Structure 1
Amino acid sequence: MIFSFSATADFDFMTYFARHIGATVNDNLLVIPAYLGEGSINKLDFGPDFKITIHRYLLKEDLVIKRNTSGQGNDLITIFFYSNEQPLGIAYNDDPYVQFSQREDSAIQVTSNDLSSTIRFPANHSIHYMVVAIKPPYLNALLASNQLNSTLQTITGSGNSFLYFERMTAETKLLLKNLSAVDLQDNLSHFYMQIKVQELLYLIFHKLSTRENTPQQHINNADAARLLHIRNEIIRDLSVPPVLGELAQIAAMSETKLKQLFKQAFGATIYNYYQQARMEEAAFLLKQGKHSVAEVGYEMGFSNLSHFSRVFEKHYGLNPKKFSYS
């Protein structure tokens, strides 16, 4: 099933999605029809400039959501939280899907609404995600700071095109889990949710506030598609370190532009992003208990196991052997 819409600031996703699937909305609740699957979508408005939708369902067919640019410039910030273990396909500019949300690489996207994107949710898997929509002036008032770094200035400014990804911390995952368990029929649930969603925003924007304070470049759909493709290349074979020149050729960008845009979008250099992904894969394999430390190290491309242990301990605070038993 494909649902396509234009991302204007006043677009009501739930109302139009309900029409698309032949369902009704009652008290900001959409129940998924039985022919399509099971579950629901809830919407909470905290005012005209701040709202959330909570998606919890299992569908009998893949769901493809295509968000088309409004053509009106950036007048809305969208923050997308997805913490499922099932892979999530994301694409920009009608490019092939790139897989997210495997292992610790959960997808948090912060994007302007002048970028088009496509997200594919797999059938027959429980899908839980939340979308926060907030207008730049309202977010700026919430942040209440005149010392924002360049990343937050770009997000809260007017007319800026941006795309940022962040890894989901354990604290963020726990908060999302608690939010999904709230009884929205409770009289004070709306009040509670507003407080907790602001806490969620604090966690993500605090992370973004620690990024390097460097000039931010505008990003378009073609740039976004190239960056996702490069990310896919980086993690495709974690035993082989990325080569900047080769990646720049694939992206059809100069090495300087690729380095700048990648770090801007993902908050890490290309090599550090690769190293983080490599250590997360190593941690996953060690926790499975099916591989020795030596096997994991060699699989991750380390010829020197002492070097592997030092790098791993730098990331996790324990050497691989102790980590596998922790």
Structure 2
Amino acid sequence: MSGKDNKQEMIYWADRLGVSITQYADELKVLQLNEIKIVDLLPEMLLMIRSVVAKKTFRFRRNPIKLIENGISISFLNTINSALTSSASYKKILKHLLPHVRIVPLHIESEVVFQKDINIQQVTIIISLDYLKMFLGKDHHQFAYLFDNEKTLWIEEVMSPELAELVNEIAGANSSKTLSDAYYRLKSLELIFHLFKNLMIREDIPHQNLTKYEIESVYRVRDKIAASLEQPFVKEELIKLSGMNVIKLRKIFTQVFGKGMYPYYQYLRMQEAARLLKEEHLSVSETGYQLGFSNLSYFGRLFEKHFGAKPKKWSQRHTKF
């Protein structure tokens, strides 16, 4: 499909979803749509696959999706993301774009951002809550917070290796394969199975209704944490940045990201450590010191906790020269 056809396909489905983007016609010119694939499994699900690069940073407000009256959007983001330049500024951007899954109710609006020169590959499943509840069966009660359509929830989950592998398999599949609808439905449900298995081990915390301000505030805090991984964040600065008291900030941060601020900070450091070992070919000591670890033994234990192997063994297994 040509770039022009890709854009027409995107505009057509945006209209069907009730989130028309025709008013952004001029802005859309900065988007290079490498691929867009829509698999219509309605009324239960809609699967969308896209690969896009923006010539300059572009953002717009996405209106509530109306095609499914009571549902959620599950987006698997940045399983493949690479800057078209290797400059330090773009590597810093990538720290904010680690592979992750975002769950958002269809009835709220959200901001969609395309960062300049960053290749974003995304697989999104829009699914009816009734169908999801049926799929989860008797275990659906463990996710009661998702089925309360009166609440405005926003959940971000880290991308496990099994999820990343599945997403890439779906994104690379040939849509003309035999029983393609059955294939995409099966793979979508497989993704949902693994995602909800991961959600079951999130830190247990009551889910409260979130305002637009609270969601934006907690992402400012997350971005501040991600911006400087080589030194510990200052809790008082994050509290001031969020505009909340410390108890409320902790609760909302954990609700959205599934872990507290310090565990999340350590998770980001370990992801960056893996990147430095694999892509920058730094030694274990160079990696540890660059990320602010004065105690390399502690760095090694923390890395092993996240990846199941000491950094040197992990690097030997994953680094290709």
Residue 75 of structure 2 aligns to which amino acid in structure 1?
A: F
Question: In structure 2, which of residues 237, 260, 267 is the aligned counterpart of residue 276 of structure 1?
Answer: 267
Question: In structure 2, which of residues 39, 44, 53 is the aligned counterpart of residue 49 of structure 1?
Answer: 44
**Residues 253 and 260 of structure 2 are in contact (CA less than 8 Å); yes or no, is this contact kept in structure 1?**
yes
Which of the two has greater helix per residue? 2
Q: What SS does the corresponding residue of 1:84 show, helix, strand or coil?
A: strand
Q: What SS does the corresponding residue of 2:113 show, helix, strand or coil?
A: strand
**Residues 278 and 300 of structure 1 are in contact (CA less than 8 Å); yes or no, is this contact kept in structure 2?**
yes
Once the 2 structures are TM-superposed, how far is the Cα of residue 44 of structure 1 from its aligned partner? 2.1
**Residues 153 and 210 of structure 2 are in contact (CA less than 8 Å); yes or no, is this contact kept in structure 1?**
yes
Counterpart mapping for 1:10-49 below 5 A: 12-13=16-17, 16=20, 37=32, 39-49=34-44
Once the 2 structures are TM-superposed, how far is the Cα of residue 65 of structure 1 from its aligned partner? 4.2
Distance across 1 between alignment mates of 2:121 and 2:163: 14
Change (3 A) 1:297 1:186: closer
Distance across 2 between alignment mates of 1:276 and 1:19: 39
Counterpart mapping for 1:28-177 below 5 A: 37=32, 39-57=34-52, 63-69=58-64, 75-82=70-77, 83-86=79-82, 102=95, 105-122=98-115, 126-146=119-139, 148-149=141-142, 152-177=143-168
Residue 118 of structure 1 aligns to which amino acid in structure 2?
A: E
**Residues 85 and 102 of structure 1 are in contact (CA less than 8 Å); yes or no, is this contact kept in structure 2?**
no
Number of aligned residues: 293
**Structure 2 residues without counterparts, runs of 5 or longer:** 1-6, 8-13, 84-91
Distance across 1 between alignment mates of 2:290 and 2:178: 54
Once the 2 structures are TM-superposed, how far is the Cα of residue 198 of structure 1 from its aligned partner? 0.8
| Per-residue CA distance 1:47-68 (angstroms, 9 max, x = gap) | 3232122223456565534213
Change (3 A) 1:104 1:227: closer
Q: Which moved more, 1:197-206 or 1:265-274?
A: 197-206
Distance across 1 between alignment mates of 2:144 and 2:275: 36
Identity of aligned residues (%): 28
CA RMSD of superposed structures (Å): 3.2
Change (3 A) 1:268 1:257: same
Counterpart mapping for 1:190-201 below 5 A: 190-201=181-192
**Residues 52 and 121 of structure 2 are in contact (CA less than 8 Å); yes or no, is this contact kept in structure 1?**
yes
Residue 324 of structure 1: aligned partner? 315
Counterpart mapping for 1:251-262 below 5 A: 251-262=242-253
**Residues 205 and 254 of structure 2 are in contact (CA less than 8 Å); yes or no, is this contact kept in structure 1?**
no
Q: What SS does the corresponding residue of 2:80 show, helix, strand or coil?
A: coil
Distance across 2 between alignment mates of 1:38 and 1:320: 37
Distance across 2 between alignment mates of 1:324 and 1:153: 41
Once the 2 structures are TM-superposed, how far is the Cα of residue 70 of structure 1 from its aligned partner? 7.0
Change (3 A) 1:84 1:14: farther
Residue 123 of structure 2 aligns to which amino acid in structure 1?
A: M
**Residues 84 and 101 of structure 1 are in contact (CA less than 8 Å); yes or no, is this contact kept in structure 2?**
no
**Structure 1 residues without counterparts, runs of 5 or longer:** 4-9, 23-31, 88-98
Change (3 A) 1:174 1:310: closer
Q: What SS does the corresponding residue of 1:80 show, helix, strand or coil?
A: strand
Once the 2 structures are TM-superposed, how far is the Cα of residue 234 of structure 1 from its aligned partner? 0.9
Change (3 A) 1:249 1:290: same
Instruction: Tell me the TM-score normalized by structure 1.
Output: 0.78
Change (3 A) 1:56 1:313: closer
Question: In structure 2, which of residues 227, 241, 257 is the aligned counterpart of residue 266 of structure 1?
Answer: 257
Q: What SS does the corresponding residue of 2:288 show, helix, strand or coil?
A: helix
Q: Which moved more, 1:54-63 or 1:161-170?
A: 54-63
Residue 154 of structure 1 aligns to which amino acid in structure 2?
A: Y
